[in-house]
Amino acid sequence: ESFAPAPRRHASGGESDASTGSSGPQPSAPTPAATQAKAAADACAKAGAIDVDKVSWRSKVEFFVNGRRVCADDVQPHYTLLFYLRDKLGLTGTKLGCGEGGCGACTVSVAHFDSEKGEVVHRAVNACLAPLCSVDGCSVTTVEGIGTTKMPHPVQQRIAGMHGSQCGFCTP
């Protein structure tokens, strides 16, 4: 013998189905999860229909570092921005401290054009975590790009004047 709950009465006096809490069949709005799942399924279907022979593949990553154009060929998936700055471009002012994005020794400024806002957006990026391909089309500014020993940036003057360092060694 199965148990079926009795219909509940709403304050309005109507009955509702005890299992769903609704008063009869009503169309329900899709949940956010269902909407996301449908969007993901649609994207997968579109991706599956792409003819890869007709796609113009790029094999270069192009960006600017301290105002200089960089065109990186043969970029490996494991290359980080920090690795490329230090080992390929010789810009050693950006340091590897903790390797986890916590100490800030590897922080660089990355700028990109936001077409929706119609403006350039600057953000601080942990170069030790950023894949090199993430700066494609961007402008990267390192500590070497904000001043020189003859004409230091005001921030650099302040750090030097207060006997500070930028190595990140003491802030793991």
pLDDT value at position 101?
86
Could you tell me which residues come within 8 angstroms of residue 156 by beta carbon, excluding any fewer than 6 positions away? 143, 146, 147
Judge whether 6 lies within some domain: no
pLDDT value at position 56?
72
Placement of tokens 């199965």 in the chain: 2
pLDDT value at position 109?
95
Judge whether 98 lies within some domain: yes
For the domain that residue 107 is a member of, what is the CATH number?
Answer: 3.10.20.30
Judge whether 105 lies within some domain: yes
Written as tens digits, the pLDDT of the chain (172 aa) is: 455 555 555 555 555 555 555 555 666 777 888 888 888 888 888 877 877 777 777 778 999 999 999 999 888 889 999 999 999 999 998 988 888 888 888 999 999 999 999 999 999 999 999 999 999 999 999 989 988 888 888 988 888 899 877 655 555 4
Judge whether 82 lies within some domain: yes
Judge whether 41 lies within some domain: no
Judge whether 53 lies within some domain: no
pLDDT value at position 172?
47
The domain tally of the chain equals: 1
Q: What are 53's two structure tokens?
A: 């022979």
Judge whether 55 lies within some domain: no
155 lies in which domain range? 60-162
Judge whether 11 lies within some domain: no
Cα 82 to its chain centre, rounded Å, is 16
